[in-house]
């Protein structure tokens, strides 16, 4: 249980901010002022000084809407339009998504939003069985959502090994984008998104240990190879997962 | 979530009763784990000459078969299963100990009629009476709990001394042997250390993982693991044993409890152990649950065991019987009197003395007639005083002995037997010579109708 990650992208009236909250920790958000300090500053005049609070708890997080007039939306970017509405003055609404985009009303053209990642969600192992309580089962300590885009990216990266187990090169980011294009959830997947999924897998889900001395470019390749190597070694991705990928013949020729 | 029925269906197949595995015949499935199904089995062909006087009674004729199927698994998973089986056999071979479950044999299953099981690895192990988890469900008193924790510590101390870490200690993996003593089991994830640490696959049971584990990076060989991981798990188990199975960290799910443990380890919450845990054990659990590896390191299984031994020596004078096992346990609480009344309904008074046959719940003692001191049972001088060395008559009795009982005491000191039955009923019995002594009713199956003792 490592907690959650809150990311405020650049351009919400301030520079980008990333906060890591351990279980039980809180972060306030809003316009802020000398008298009302906030951890996440949203420099927009439509936002209250203290607009709300995020509280990391259990394997998820809670959103308190401290505005007395505006509802906030929490969208699941991978949920095909799935969202929650948190009404004004609602305290501690539990948020079930692993990925969330919190959208606050704004008069600007682009909505005011920030992201929250909850990588601690736990899934039972697919082969788990047993008559006893699931609570006391031995399981893989890193559970991945096999319906998430990051898992598709991981399977695509591991595919060459799973198909013929020859030491081939790990697919490049453009190759992954091309490979997944036929998947309904990945029609608009960008190379940049693939890179973020890879970072999320390596840094937040699998917490891969990479040597610090490698140069930046090597680091990215090293990370890609390390993710694939460990996912295969510890059975996180297996042959059966190939069924999640679009049929190979749907791939454009010349890949 | 996408399921793949083809990969799940085969998991469900079970060996039928009567299936022959090597020299064993399957009787029934008794448990399922992540990789394996465990069956009870008996020696094929019924009675053998094996049950000699030095044998552990009928116990050697019934075993547990841990079947780890590999067919239908992807090659990598099959390798993982084979690796888990290899670790279990390796550990059993290099570091056997009375507190570790005994591995009798390992073989490959031939079951052409059951393709999903054909070729499975089978580990033949001594049959246990049950798991600590089963026992927690029925309730464990302080004395019994203390002996169980001491047993776990003995097993862990041995493992750690031998350079292994269990990595998956939990009540499900603490078996209670036929003699009522602890047997640590399930070494499929056990890790042999090189120097101060080893590496293990990223597996575990969330409720028993130390807080640093959630942040430990995943390296090429897996996750770094040290013996303090077992000590943390031991702390959780100690709490569960003395708090009726309740884990020390609050939360409705293992993940919530994991988050609470994290909160404690990061100093944002205090450790709040249940008031039901007796002070000595609470202090011990708190040391096991020290928040970091460094803070936990001084509390080795060895040092914890020494503390437990000192505590037990200080509390209970040494029994006359040399066995480490306490056959009769004096309950500190008196609350069980009401239960006793229900268990042993008063049959009404009768005038005549009556014969009672001594019953020793220890099965290995039931078949032997050699009056081995280890199988002897004591009689109390005074059934109202604690059952300690100075309250035992010199005369010993054995299973099957007939004693003359002349009256009964319905509300003596509560006694619990190996089956965890509690009774406050005692019989006054005559011994050779003009003396009397007291036999607890749990030590006989007879229920004579006797007058209440004056």
Residues B175 and B209 in one domain: yes
Question: Are B218 and A209 a contacting pair at CB < 8 A?
Answer: yes
Residues B169 and B86 in one domain: no
Residues B121 and B155 in one domain: no
Residues B300 and B161 in one domain: yes
Computed over every residue of chain A, the mean pLDDT equals 86
Question: Are B218 and A206 a contacting pair at CB < 8 A?
Answer: yes
* The total number of structural domains that make up chain B: 3
Q: What is the pLDDT of residue A128?
A: 59
The confidence band for B176, taking pLDDT boundaries of 50, 70 and 90, is very high
For B269, which residue in chain A has the nearest alpha carbon?
A24
Residues B268 and B417 in one domain: no
Q: Is the pLDDT of residue B56 over 60?
A: no
- The stretches of A48-186 forming alpha helices (DSSP H) are 149-164, 173-180
Q: What is the pLDDT of residue B14?
A: 82
Neighbours of A157 (CB within 10 A): 27
Q: What would be the CATH architecture of the domain defined by A4-117?
A: Sandwich (2.60)
- The stretches of B243-395 forming alpha helices (DSSP H) are 254-265, 279-288, 293-296, 301-315, 337-343, 363-366
Q: Determine the distance in angstroms separating the CA of A236 from the nearest CA of chain B, rounded to an integer.
A: 10
Both structure tokens of A147:
């319906």
Residues B140 and B169 in one domain: yes
- The domain spans of chain A are 4-117, 149-244
Q: What is the pLDDT of residue B109?
A: 86
Computed over every residue of chain B, the mean pLDDT equals 81
Find the CB nearest B217 among A25, A208, A232: A208
The confidence band for B42, taking pLDDT boundaries of 50, 70 and 90, is very high
Q: What is the pLDDT of residue B307?
A: 96
- Higher local confidence (pLDDT), B94 or A141: B94
Is position B55 within any domain? no
Q: Is the pLDDT of residue B53 over 50?
A: no
Residues β-bridged to residue A99: A117
Both structure tokens of A161:
């090994």
Q: pLDDT of B6-40, one tens digit each? A: 223 334 578 889 988 889 999 998 887 667 889 99
Summarize the confidence of residues B185-194 as an average pLDDT.
88
- Higher local confidence (pLDDT), A123 or A141: A123
Chain B residues inside the 8 Å CB shell of A22: 262-263, 266, 268
> How many cross-chain Cβ pairs, A to B, lie less than 8 Å apart?
142
B204 touches chain A (CB under 8 A): yes
Structural domain boundaries enclosing B255: 130-314
Residues B101 and B162 in one domain: no
Do A75 and A83 meet the contact criterion of CB atoms below 8 Å apart? yes
Q: What is the pLDDT of residue B275?
A: 94
Q: Which of A89-103, B53-67, B216-230, B302-316 has the lowest mean pLDDT?
A: B53-67
- Of the residues B262, B290, B314, the one at which a domain ends: B314
Which of B8, B76, B247 to mutate against chain A (most A CBs within 10 Å)? B76
Residues B155 and B116 in one domain: no
- The stretches of B103-245 forming alpha helices (DSSP H) are 132-138, 142-161, 228-242
Chain B residues inside the 8 Å CB shell of A239: 74
Q: What's B65's domain CATH number? A: 3.30.200.20
What does the alpha-carbon distance between residue B151 and residue B170 come to, in Å, rounded to a whole number? 14
Chain B residues inside the 8 Å CB shell of A56: 259
Neighbours of B131 (CB within 10 A): 20
Chain B residues inside the 8 Å CB shell of A130: 31-34
Question: Are B218 and A142 a contacting pair at CB < 8 A?
Answer: yes
B209 touches chain A (CB under 8 A): yes
Q: pLDDT of B125-162, one tens digit each? A: 999 989 999 999 888 899 999 999 999 999 999 999 99
Question: Are A135 and B254 a contacting pair at CB < 8 A?
Answer: yes
Residues B138 and B171 in one domain: yes
Q: Determine the distance in angstroms separating the CA of B450 from the nearest CA of chain A, rounded to an integer.
A: 45
Summarize the confidence of residues A92-121 as an average pLDDT.
92
Q: What is the pLDDT of residue A209?
A: 80
B263 touches chain A (CB under 8 A): yes
Residue labelled with tokens 């059966």? A240
Question: Are A239 and B213 a contacting pair at CB < 8 A?
Answer: no
Residues B90 and B177 in one domain: no
Residue labelled with tokens 């009056």? B371
Question: Are B76 and A130 a contacting pair at CB < 8 A?
Answer: no
Chain A residues inside the 8 Å CB shell of B219: 208-209
Q: Is the pLDDT of residue A46 over 70?
A: yes
Is position B322 within any domain? no
Angle at B188 between CA B183 and CA B189, to 5 degrees: 105
Residues B299 and B413 in one domain: no
Q: Is the pLDDT of residue A248 over 80?
A: no
Summarize the confidence of residues B189-218 as an average pLDDT.
88
Q: pLDDT of B308-357, one tens digit each? A: 999 998 875 444 444 443 334 333 333 333 333 333 333 344 446 788 88
Q: Is the pLDDT of residue B388 over 90?
A: no
Q: pLDDT of A180-223, one tens digit each? A: 999 988 888 999 999 999 999 999 998 888 766 555 666 677 88
Q: Which of A153-167, A171-185, B268-282, B295-309 has the lowest mean pLDDT?
A: A153-167
């Amino acid at each position: 249980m490592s907690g959650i990650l809150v990311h405020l992208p650049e351009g919400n009236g301030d520079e980008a901010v990333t906060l890591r909250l351990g279980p039980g920790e809180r972060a306030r958000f809003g316009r802020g002022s000398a008298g009302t300090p906030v951890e996440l500053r949203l420099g927009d005049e439509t936002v209250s000084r203290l607009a709300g609070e995020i509280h990391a708890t259990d394997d998820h997080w809670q959103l308190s809407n401290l505005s007395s007039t505006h509802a906030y939306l929490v969208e699941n970017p991978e949920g095909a339009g799935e969202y929650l509405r948190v009404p004004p003055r609602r305290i501690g609404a539990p948020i079930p998504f692993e990925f969330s985009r919190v959208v606050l009303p704004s008069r600007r053209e682009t909505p005011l939003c920030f992201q929250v990642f909850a990588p601690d969600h736990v899934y039972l192992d697919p082969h788990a069985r047993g008559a006893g309580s699931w609570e006391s089962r031995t399981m893989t300590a890193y559970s991945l959502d096999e319906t998430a885009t990051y898992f598709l990216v991981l399977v695509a990266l591991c595919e060459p090994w799973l198909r013929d187990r020859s030491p081939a090169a790990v697919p490049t980011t453009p190759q992954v984008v091309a490979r997944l294009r036929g998947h309904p959830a990945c029609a608009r997947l960008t190379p940049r998104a693939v890179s973020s999924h890879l970072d999320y897998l390596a840094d937040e889900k699998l917490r891969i240990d990479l040597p610090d001395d490698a140069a930046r470019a090597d680091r990215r390749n090293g990370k890609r190879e390390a993710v694939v190597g460990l996912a295969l070694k510890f059975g996180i991705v297996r042959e059966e997962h190939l069924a999640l990928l679009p049929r190979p013949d749907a791939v454009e020729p010349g890949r | 979530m996408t399921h793949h029925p083809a990969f799940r269906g085969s998991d469900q197949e079970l060996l039928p009763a009567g299936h022959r595995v090597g020299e064993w015949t399957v009787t029934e499935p008794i448990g399922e784990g992540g990789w394996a199904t465990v069956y009870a089995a008996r020696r094929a062909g019924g009675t053998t000459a094996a049950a000699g006087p030095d044998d552990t009674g009928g116990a050697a004729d019934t075993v547990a078969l841990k079947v780890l199927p590999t067919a239908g698994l992807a090659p990598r998973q099959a390798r993982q299963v084979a690796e888990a089986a290899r670790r279990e056999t390796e550990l059993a071979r290099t570091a056997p100990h009375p507190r570790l479950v005994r591995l009798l044999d390992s073989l490959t299953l031939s079951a052409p009629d059951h393709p999903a099981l054909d070729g499975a690895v089978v580990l033949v192990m001594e049959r246990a009476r049950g798991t600590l988890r089963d026992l927690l469900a029925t309730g464990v008193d302080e004395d019994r709990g203390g002996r169980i924790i001491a047993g776990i510590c003995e097993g862990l101390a041995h493992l750690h001394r031998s350079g292994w870490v269990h990595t998956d200690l939990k009540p499900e993996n603490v078996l209670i042997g036929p003699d009522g003593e602890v047997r640590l089991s399930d070494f499929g994830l056990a890790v042999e250390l090189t120097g101060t640490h080893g590496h293990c696959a990223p597996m575990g049971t969330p409720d028993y993982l130390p807080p640093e584990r959630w942040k430990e990076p995943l390296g090429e060989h897996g996750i770094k693991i040290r013996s303090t991981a077992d000590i943390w798990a031991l702390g959780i188990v100690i709490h569960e044993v003395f708090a009726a199975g309740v884990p020390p960290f609050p939360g409705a799910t293992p993940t919530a409890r994991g988050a609470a443990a994290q909160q404690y380890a990061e100093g944002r919450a205090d450790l709040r152990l249940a008031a039901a845990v007796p002070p000595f054990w609470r202090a011990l659990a708190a040391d096991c649950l020290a928040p970091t590896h460094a803070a936990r390191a001084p509390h080795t299984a060895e040092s914890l065991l020494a503390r437990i031994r000192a505590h037990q020596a200080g509390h209970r004078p040494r029994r006359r019987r040399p066995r480490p096992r306490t056959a009769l346990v004096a309950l500190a609480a008196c609350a069980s009197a009401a239960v006793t009344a229900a268990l042993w309904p008063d049959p009404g008074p009768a005038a005549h003395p009556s014969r009672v046959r001594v019953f020793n719940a220890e099965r290995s003692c039931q078949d032997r007639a050699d009056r081995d001191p280890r199988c002897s049972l004591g009689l109390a001088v005074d059934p109202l005083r604690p059952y300690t060395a100075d309250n035992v008559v010199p005369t010993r009795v054995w299973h099957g002995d007939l004693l003359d009982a002349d009256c009964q005491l319905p509300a003596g000191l509560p006694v619990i037997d190996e089956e965890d039955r509690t009774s406050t009923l005692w019989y006054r019995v005559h011994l050779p010579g003009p003396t009397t002594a007291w036999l607890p009713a749990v030590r006989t199956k007879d229920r004579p109708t006797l007058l209440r003792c004056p």
